[in-house]
Structure 1
Amino acid sequence: MKIIVGLGNPGPKYAQTRHNIGFLTVDRLAEKLGISINQEKWRSLVGETSVSGEKVLLLKPLTYMNRSGEAVIEVVRFFQCPVEDVLVIYDDLDLPFGTMRLRLKGGHGGHNGVRSLIDHLGSQTFKRIRMGIGRPENGDVVHYVLNPFHPQERQQLAEFIDRGASAAEAYLDTDDFTQVMNRYNQKLRSS
Structure 2
Amino acid sequence: MKLIIGLGNPGKEYSGNRHNVGFQCLSRFAKDNHISFDKKCCLSRTGSGRINDEEIVLAKPQTYMNLSGKAASQLLRRYNLKAADIIVVQDDLDLPAGKIRLRLGGSAGGHNGISSIITDIGTKEFIRLKIGIGKPDSRNNGTEVVDHVLGNFGGEEREIMDKAITRASEALTCLLTCGLDTASNRFNS
Q: CA offsets, 1:5-38, max 9 Å, x none?
A: 1000000000000000000000000011111113
Counterpart CA distance in 2 for 1:71 and 1:155 is 31
Q: Is 2:172 aligned against 1:160? A: no
Q: CA offsets, 1:9-68, max 9 Å, x none?
A: 000000000000000000000011111113111110001012233220011000110000
Q: Post-superposition, which runs of at least 4 consecutive aligned residues in structure 1 deviate over 2 A?
A: 51-54
Q: Is the 8 A contact 2:51 2:173 kept in 1?
A: no
Q: How does 1:33-48 map to 2 (within 5 A)?
A: 33-48=33-48
| Higher deviation after alignment, 91-100 or 136-145 | 136-145
Q: How does 1:25-174 map to 2 (within 5 A)?
A: 25-137=25-137, 138-174=142-178
Q: Is the 8 A contact 2:97 2:161 kept in 1?
A: no
TM-score, normalised with respect to structure 2: 0.95
Q: CA offsets, 1:131-174, max 9 Å, x none?
A: 10011122401111111012110122221100011111112213
TM-score, normalised with respect to structure 1: 0.94
Counterpart CA distance in 1 for 2:106 and 2:144 is 25
The DSSP-based 3-state class of the residue aligned with 1:161 is helix
Q: CA offsets, 1:107-133, max 9 Å, x none?
A: 100000000000011011110111100
Aligned length: 185
1:125 counterpart letter in structure 2: E
Counterpart CA distance in 2 for 1:48 and 1:36 is 8
The DSSP-based 3-state class of the residue aligned with 2:56 is strand
Listed as ranges, the gaps of 5+ residues in structure 1 are: 187-191
Q: Is 2:178 aligned against 1:178? A: no
1:101 counterpart letter in structure 2: R
Q: Over aligned residues, Cα RMSD in angstroms?
A: 1.0
1:31 counterpart letter in structure 2: K
Listed as ranges, the gaps of 5+ residues in structure 2 are: none
